[in-house]
Structure 1
Amino acid sequence: MHAIIERTANFVCKQGAQFEIMLKAKQARNSQFDFLRFDHYLNPYYKFIQKAMKEGRYTVLAENRNEEKKSM
């Protein structure tokens, strides 16, 4: 779940708020994206990761792991 939240926050940082709105609409029935709802218990965590990325205080760990696997 962390990887999905991390990847989503990264995409939203790069693509903007409109991307998040579109993602909410397209993934409304997908339980893996419930953290995008304001009333979901993981939404504050998602917002925290997103804010940290915007401020440059967070590096994307999931992408780093995938790159390490590809180089092996």
Structure 2
Amino acid sequence: MFLSVQWESGNRLERLEKVLLHYEAVFSAWDENRLAGLLAVMDDGTMTAYVHYLLVHPRYQGYGVGSCLPGI
């Protein structure tokens, strides 16, 4: 997913996997067995939350995938 949108972090899969495990919430959008979108949310546990990653595979951009993910 990260490489499909030309993000360098896609070249560091082990590190990326470790980071994603520490987010408060990670949501994904699928087209059968293809990952179409990814949303990762961080928060401070009390009051503040923010979207850290929102990626939509180029094949699915313009179809509302990002707006269908929770919290968007």
TM-score by length of 1: 0.29
Instruction: Judging by fraction of residues, say which structure has more strand.
Output: 2
Instruction: Judging by fraction of residues, say which structure has more helix.
Output: 1
TM-score by length of 2: 0.29
